[in-house]
Amino acid sequence: MISFIIPAYNASGALNNQLSHLIDYLKTNNIESEILIVDDGSRDGEQTKKVADKFGCKYLKNPVNMGKGAAVRNGMMNSTGAIKIFTDADIPFELDAMKSIIDEISINNYDMVVGDRTLAESMYHDQISKKRSIGSNFYSFIVARFISGGVFDTQCGLKAFKKEIADDIFGVSKLNSFAFDVELISIAVKRNYKIKKIPVKLRSQEGNSVSMLKHAPGMIADLFRIKWELLKGGYKKLS
């Protein structure tokens, strides 16, 4: 079975508009799955829960808004699939990437698969604003150069793990902010896990909530926290 973890914060509209695309794809391709909507303390009058119920998804809720990392971690630790995938509430990328993910893990035995918007086959940066593209590329350059061991696009909202790898990584990860993606990859690199990058094609921007201007200072500060944790030998496997 495949587990899909979708973090959501005040994103009931995007979920309501886009979730059916994922569900139809899974049914058409006979993929046994569970979808977990993890509500990160939304203040929307229970609209996120209503959408989850409407589409037959499992619903989890953080008691307060804790950050995307906390929502994804909650979903990962409470899902049961042999492969665990997280993506954003607007299902931002074309769904043919799902077959690639499943094949790379189940057939080619990769531990972790990450979408990479910078690959030649990807269709992303020419479909977003120049300001957003520049900010994304700059942050990715800093991360790849100093933190993540050369994995370039840490912030792509599509990542997948073998169950045991997800249990390990999310069991020791600490960050709740948008920089949690960097931490996940840093832990995977530290463990020498096999990571596969795959191209992605943008299909929706309805749920984008990251403002590089607003979030960049905190994300940069978190990079120093990750680097310090790595230098002092942190992120040790749980016994």
pLDDT reported for residue 131 = 53
The residue with tokens 């073998």 is 162
pTM above 0.85, yes or no: yes
Average pLDDT over residues 90-100: 95
pLDDT of residue 238: 86
Q: Which of 65-69, 100-104, 205-209 has the lowest mean pLDDT?
A: 205-209
Q: At the fourth CATH level, which superfamily is domain 2-231?
A: Spore Coat Polysaccharide Biosynthesis Protein SpsA; Chain A (3.90.550.10)
Among candidates 95, 94, 90, which has minimal Cα distance to 19? Answer: 90
* Residue 94 and residue 21 in contact, taking contact as beta carbons nearer than 8 Å: no
Q: Where are the domains of the chain?
A: 2-231
How far is the C-alpha of 81 from the C-alpha of 155, rounded, in Å?
Answer: 23
For the stretch 127-159, pLDDT in tens is: 455 555 555 566 666 666 666 566 668 889 999
Per-residue 3-state assignment (H helix, E strand, C coil) for 51-94: HHHHCCCEEEECCCCCCHHHHHHHHHHCCCCCEEEEECCCCCEC
| 202-213 pLDDT, tens digit each | 998 776 555 555
pLDDT of 43 higher than 90: yes
Query: What is the sign of the dihedral through the CA atoms of 88, 78, 44 and 215?
Result: negative
d(CA 29, CA 17): 21
Rounded to the nearest integer, the mean pLDDT of the chain is: 89
